[in-house]
């Protein structure tokens, strides 16, 4: 008996170092990206800038033994990232169980790199991480301010983000959505972006980096604060010369609690249409073909919520395109019914004061396309009030 007790005690004592090691093993998060990962635009008084040090602080405070390494490289495009990432894995001694946070691609837009190339590069970088036993969190890129030199209307940024969501979903990877969170912030560009006069892409300020860190923290901790989000949309926003019998297709993704399919609707020209979502709570598709030929400018919107408690909801315009042979639309016609009337005035009021890139902005109400829905647009609506387009 004494021998058995002694043997058992010896086994327990021998196991203690392994138990302690298991409890103290730190997981490394490699934050890989460009200047927004690096922390350009942050408070210069901070010793460590960007979202990575903030994310590490949030995780440690929550009792997670984690190290977040900042591997941001200002100005980097995905072809450059594809070359650099192998060296980063070696330098950071990446090991199975670590995590790659991959947020890159906005500089590809500046240099007119095709989206197919960008997505291929992001997928290849993620594949390199997975080959080493790391898991991957893909991240969308944040909105561009109206002062941006390229893509100030965020048409390309939104298209890229839809493809990033699709990439994450198809590959079974996690997805963080800074774009969706940022675009729903009040006073987005004045409150959460750097005001540096030479910033023509759009970098967060200190408050913005706080939000960015929280976005990644929520994904890591399984906290769902993001609504269903659009994936690939056809026709794309801003498209012209679209056929009158075109099929409208919107992919919807939710990387949290899942899509509430019964509460998911497609809106065409502001009106809910018959388009039953097909798919799963992770990924559903809404498809619609108008029974009559489309004409003029067509707007496409999404109304949906997820299965979280309380639910996270989305209700906004996703795209606006022009039908083949159409002349410019009747300005003031918000709902696209070819008449400017009281309905348009009410809809316009819902968007008054909104800036491009914010949740309440609608291109259909920005008649002069200057990125702000204001008195100038109201004057245009008033000038055309009561008119009908033949």
For residue range 348-372, list pLDDT tens digits in order.
Answer: 998 998 876 565 778 788 887 677 8
Name which residue leads in pLDDT, 346 or 161: 161
pLDDT of residue 360: 73
For residue 282, give the CATH number of its domain.
2.60.40.1220
Query: Residue for token digits 């196991």?
Result: 15
Confidence (pLDDT) at 39: 98
| Token pair belonging to 371 | 């990125």
Whether residue 365 sits in one domain with residue 321: no
DSSP code per residue over 186-210: TTHHHHHB---TT--S--B-HHHHH
Nearest to 31 by CA among 213, 280, 246: 213
5 within some domain: no
Q: Domain holding 93: CATH number?
A: 3.40.50.1110
Q: Report helix, strand or coil for 248.
A: strand
Q: How many CB atoms lie within 10 A of CB 190?
A: 11
Q: What is the pLDDT of residue 361?
A: 74
- Whether 11 has a pLDDT exceeding 90, the answer reads no
Residue 18: inside a domain: no
Whole-prediction pTM: 0.81
In this structure, how many other beta carbons lie within 10 angstroms of the beta carbon of residue 93? 8
User: Same domain for 254 and 349?
Assistant: no
Characterize 349-375 residue by residue with b for buried, 16 or more Cβ atoms within 10 angstroms of its Cβ, and e for exposed.
eebeebbbbbbbbbbbbbbeeebbbee
Instruction: Provide the number of structural domains found in the chain.
Output: 3
Q: Are residues 181 and 312 in the same domain?
A: no
244: CB partners within 8 A, 6+ apart: 293, 294, 295, 323, 324
CA distance 339 to 350: 18
Average pLDDT value over all residues in the chain: 91
pLDDT tens by residue, 128-184: 999 999 999 999 999 999 989 899 999 999 999 999 999 999 999 999 999 999 999
- The predicted-structure confidence for 277-315, as pLDDT tens digits, reads as follows 999 999 999 999 999 999 999 999 999 999 999 999 999
Range(s) of the domain holding residue 148: 25-221
């Amino acid at each position: 008996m004494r021998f058995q007790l002694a043997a058992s005690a010896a086994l327990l004592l021998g196991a203690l170092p392994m138990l302690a090691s298991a409890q103290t093993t730190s997981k490394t998060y490699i934050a890989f990206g460009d200047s927004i990962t690096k922390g350009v635009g942050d408070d210069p008084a901070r010793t460590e800038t960007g979202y990575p040090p903030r994310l590490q602080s949030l995780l440690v405070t929550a009792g997670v033994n984690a190290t977040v390494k900042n591997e941001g490289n200002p100005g980097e495009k995905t072809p450059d990232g594809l070359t650099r990432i192998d060296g980063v894995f070696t330098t950071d001694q990446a090991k199975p169980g670590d995590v790659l946070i991959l947020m890159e691609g906005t500089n590809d837009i500046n240099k007119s790199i095709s989206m197919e190339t960008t997505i291929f590069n992001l997928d290849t970088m993620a594949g390199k991480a997975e080959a080493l036993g790391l898991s991957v969190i893909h991240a969308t890129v944040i909105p561009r301010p109206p002062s941006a030199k390229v893509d100030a209307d965020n048409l390309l940024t939104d298209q890229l983000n839809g493809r990033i969501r699709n990439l994450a979903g198809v590959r079974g990877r996690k997805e963080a959505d800074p774009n969706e969170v940022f675009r729903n912030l009040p006073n987005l560009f004045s409150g959460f972006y750097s005001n540096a006069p030479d910033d023509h892409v759009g970098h967060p300020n200190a408050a913005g980096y706080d939000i960015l860190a929280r976005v990644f923290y929520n994904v890591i901790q399984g906290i769902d604060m993001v609504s269903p989000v659009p994936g690939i949309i056809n026709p794309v926003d801003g498209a012209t010369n679209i056929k009158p019998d075109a099929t409208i297709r919107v992919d919807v993704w939710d990387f949290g609690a899942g899509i509430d399919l019964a509460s998911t609707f497609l809106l065409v020209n502001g009106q809910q249409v018959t388009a039953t979502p097909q798919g799963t709570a992770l990924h559903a598709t809404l498809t619609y073909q108008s029974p009559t030929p489309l004409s003029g400018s067509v707007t496409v919107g999404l109304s949906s919520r997820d299965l979280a408690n309380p639910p996270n909801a989305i209700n906004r315009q996703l795209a606006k395109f022009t039908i083949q042979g159409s002349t410019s639309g009747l300005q003031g016609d918000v709902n696209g019914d070819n008449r400017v009337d009281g309905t348009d005035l009410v809809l316009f009021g819902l968007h008054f004061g909104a800036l491009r890139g914010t949740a309440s902005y609608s291109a259909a109400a920005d008649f002069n396309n200057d990125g702000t829905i204001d008195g100038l647009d109201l004057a245009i609506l008033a000038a055309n009030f009561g008119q009908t387009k033949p």
